[in-house]
Amino acid sequence: MSAIPITASGAERLREELHRLKHVERPAVIDAIAEARAQGDLSENAEYDAARERQGFVEARISELEGALSNAQIIEPSELNADGAVVFGATVEIEDLDTEVRVTYQIVGDLEADIRKNMISVSSPVARALIGRRAGDVAEVQTPSGVKEYEIVGLSYK
């Protein structure tokens, strides 16, 4: 399996989630299963079924996180020598040339992308259009409604 790029802060968040799943969620699910078993007939026990389903989700997420972290290529944006270009981990302020709306995004790995936190995946169309460009450049992004143009207003490597 190839290396998965992730920022140092993103890797730390994944490690925290993994720790919580292993040391809080997993024991809670095991207790819930034991409690549901104690109620008797498992064939018609909704609490048992729900606990087993939750256990499946927790175990799958633990497996996913362990795999991702074992293949992670951790990148610290502040240590990059990008010479003013947009690279993985960079925080980029862009302006939509049609609407003049400005937004700031950090370009991160697929596992840590969260649009609510303005963290976009390096594989997203916007990030792909921005990579390699510099402040003042205009990037064109193909969207379902046509081509959008964004000017890079600011750039930092936090």
Share of the chain above pLDDT 70, in %: 99
pLDDT at 8 over 60: yes
Tell me the C-alpha distance between 26 and 127, whole Å: 36
Q: Taking 60 as the threshold, does the pLDDT of residue 60 lie above it?
A: yes
13-30 mean pLDDT: 96
Residue carrying structure tokens 């939509």: 96
Distances (CA, A) of 46 to 18, 28, 59, 123, 152: 27, 17, 20, 41, 54
**What pLDDT score was predicted for residue 29?**
96
Most confident of 3-12, 16-25, 76-85: 16-25
Q: Residue 147's closest CA among 133, 126, 116, 131?
A: 126
**pLDDT tens by residue, 68-104:** 999 999 998 888 777 889 999 999 999 999 999 999 9
Whether 1 shows a pLDDT value over 60: the answer reads no
| Topology (CATH) of 78-156 | Chitinase A; domain 3 (3.10.50)
**Secondary structure element (H or E) that encloses residue 86, with its range:** none
pLDDT (mean) for 15-39: 94
Domain ranges of the chain: 4-75, 78-156
What's the pTM?
0.79
What angle separates helix 46-70 from helix 8-20, to the nearest 10 degrees? 150
CA distances 12 to 8, 66, 73, 91, Å, are 6, 13, 13, 18
Look at 40 and 76; give whichever has higher pLDDT. Answer: 76
pLDDT value of position 87: 93
The predicted structure's pLDDT at residue 54? 96
SS3 139: strand
SS3 state of residue 152: strand
The token pair at 6 is 């992730």
The CATH number of domain 4-75, selected from 1.20.1530.20, 1.10.287.180, 1.10.460.10, 3.30.70.260: 1.10.287.180
Say if residue 43's pLDDT is above 80.
no
pLDDT tens, residue by residue, 100-141: 999 999 999 998 999 999 999 999 999 999 999 999 999 999
